[in-house]
Amino acid sequence: MDQYVVRAVQGDEWEKVKELRIAALRDPAAPVAFLETLAQAESRPDEFWRDRAQGASHGRHARQFVAEAPDGQWAGSVTVLVEEGGTADFFERAVERTQGHVVGVFVRAEQRGTGVTDALFTAALDWAWSLEGPALERVRLFVHEDNPRAGAFYRRFGFRASGQAVPVPVPVAVPVAGDAGAKEFEYVISRP
């Protein structure tokens, strides 16, 4: 892990943001890890990727962190979205408190188990806890019921199951997970 630099993406790195997302969606775990298909991502115009990189590079709304190798290749990524209290989330449920929402967790297969994921989560949570006006009370994420490996990592890192579950969105559940009744379980970690 020592050879990697963990940092926030820069607004002009849209091509690398796109490449890493496409790699993530080609991963065998993608059907239970992401709420997007490879075909959807590949069909998006360059402007989408430019906006995504720019939006995750600065400000309070979102931040994407990457682990960059000395040769410039990105080994993995984690994104934190800020959900303000009183708004609605991706699942169209009311957001009761200001919180972070971790999404887009991916580490290339050859880098798993090397500490890259831990380093990405440390950077993401450090950023989340540094926010003020208002401060985030907690950070959450959702894990598909058929993704026990991810659930085990999140628990080891300090996240706990909240007892809340949501159905995988129907447009995604059928083509991706193959089970329209699939569930995503919420995991949370409170502000230290």
pLDDT for 134 beyond 60:
yes
At 95, which amino acid appears?
V
Tell me the per-residue pLDDT of 9-58, one tens digit each, with 9 for 90 and over: 999 999 999 999 999 999 998 888 888 889 999 999 999 999 999 999 99
Distance CA 20, CA 107 (A): 9
Closest CA to 56 of 104, 107, 23: 104
Q: CA dihedral in degrees (20, 23, 27, 29; nearest 10)?
A: 30
**Residue 143: which region, alpha, beta or left (left: phi > 0; alpha: psi -120 to 50)?**
beta
Q: Measured between alpha carbons, how far is residue 102 from residues 16, 69, 93, 120, 150 in Å?
A: 20, 22, 16, 11, 13
- Mean pLDDT on 112-128: 96
Percent pLDDT > 90 in the chain is 78
